[in-house]
Structure 1
Amino acid sequence: MDDRDPGAEDAALQRRPFNKWLIIALVVAVLAGVVLASTLLDNRWSGGGEKSDSASEAKGPEMEKWCAAQASYDAMKRELFRRAAQVRGDDEAAYARLADFALLRVNGPVARGIDDRLHSVSCSGTAVLSLPPGVAVAGGRRSLSGDVDYTIEPAADGTGNVVRLGNADAIVIPLATLSRVAAPTPAPAQTDNAVTDEQPVGTPDASQSPGQPQPVPQQASPSFNCANARTRGEIAVCNDSGLAALDRQMAAQYNAAVSEADASRRRLLERTRTRFLSYRDRCATNECVANTYRGRIQEIRDIAADRWRG
């Protein structure tokens, strides 16, 4: 005899379909939630990535320009002289003054990497440092060069970019041996545009008062009309026969280079000429003006020979 209750079996049979469909519904709901959450996450991360990539692409080329910017070169020059003074152990103030009169260019500057997080760019190239008149390193050298690595990033105080130098010992070590050399007696300008060194750096030129036009000596005959001299650089050139000779030499070289250049080099010569004039007219001394002319003469030669990378 079967003791099972027929009523209980009927109730169980009625509950089984209900439990099965409930389980199926719950599983479907969970799966739907997982799919929805996954889709939202994918969209969020994909959108953020596209935005980040777009920002990096826009920022990258602009930061690469820092490697070849004149402001970067000026900061590198000051850092080289500061390190040389540290190696020497003294004359830090004198080295800082000399840095203002030196010229620095970097041949073949290349951006090695960009750090979006730090907003910095790592660069490398061959730095060429031309010393001011009246000074030289051990061995009598007036120019130093070496491969350098440098990183450019915004200053913490928001005043611009700062430059951090890597392997610069090829320039810093000899620069620490800097000493004055006897300045030759100034000679009158020659028809072949011969150039002589100016007085030692740090010795003021009594005839040059920044911003104050002085009578123009008859022997000072640059490539431009001194009657129209207005800027500080023009006035300095018109008051110094040595600077006038440099100006004539530079102008003759510039005109020859332009006449032989193709369209792209001609544009480059014109663009760098504007930068040269701006730099020259910021000079406060004749030494600075002379160095600027010498740097421009070398720059024109490099552009004409297609080896300019500044």
Structure 2
Amino acid sequence: MKPTLTTKSNAKTRWQSSFFSKIWIGVPITTWLFLLIIIPICIMLITSFYIKEGSVVVKKISLANYLEFFINPIYLPIFFRTLLLALLVSLTSILLGYPLAYLVSRKVKHFRNQLYMLVIVPLWVSYLVRIVAWRTILGRVGVLNTILLSLKIIDEPLSIFIYSPFAVYVALIYIALPYVFISIFNSLEKIPKNLLDASADLGANSFHTFLHVILPLSMPGVISGFTLAFVIALGDYIIPQQLGGLNGMMFGNLIVTQFGYAYNWPLGAALGFIMFTVAVFILLVSQKFGSSEGFLE
């Protein structure tokens, strides 16, 4: 029986209705992306090619701001120091977050959900409140110095804990660790139990099962957690400002200074776009290596 003209017309109408409904559903998301992400990035990129003459921003296309980044002896050392610190924070967060996520996901039988909530509960607390808490812990009259003095380990309060790269390093790990934990935990939860049973049936002990099954299959979560920690540490400027002092200054502080005290928005935009490019590169690399369900062959 051949389809009638009415049937074809109804099918075409339903297809058009479905097509346009999908388009309308995507309009709010697309608008949000353009207004809050794409347009600001384009404005920042255009502004980075302007120059500042005196106290006035001149809309004249120039590469002077990007050349300033390479010529000025201040920017490159702080930029590489920021990259190094972000890398150390990411690696340390993985080393601390993976055992914790593995313990909660695979070993804990009771109070599993409660332990999970305890790890992520700091995310519910204000960012600034957590930084102030670290100043209380690391200060000269803080908790850490008080404990060391009471144990007679030191004779007078140490100043190396606060306003130093060490304080920035510790606080950034504290901020990034919950995100790393969540990424790895979710990756571990997705591993099918029948693969672990099959590994045990083939004679593999717990160590070999972890090394050849669990670890490869959880690598997407590890890479995702590493990326989150790296981007968080790369762009943070509040922690270095509150805990780092002059010795703990990072690249984000230079960008904030250009937009604030120096009132050099073109140079700040150029420095910001350089950081943005590095972050996008890291995200693309992590997506390439972490897009699969694991590295199990």
TM-score, normalised relative to structure 2: 0.26
Q: Which protein is bigger by CA-based radius of gyration?
A: 1
User: More strand per residue: 1 or 2?
Assistant: 1
The structure carrying a bigger helix percent of its residues is: 2
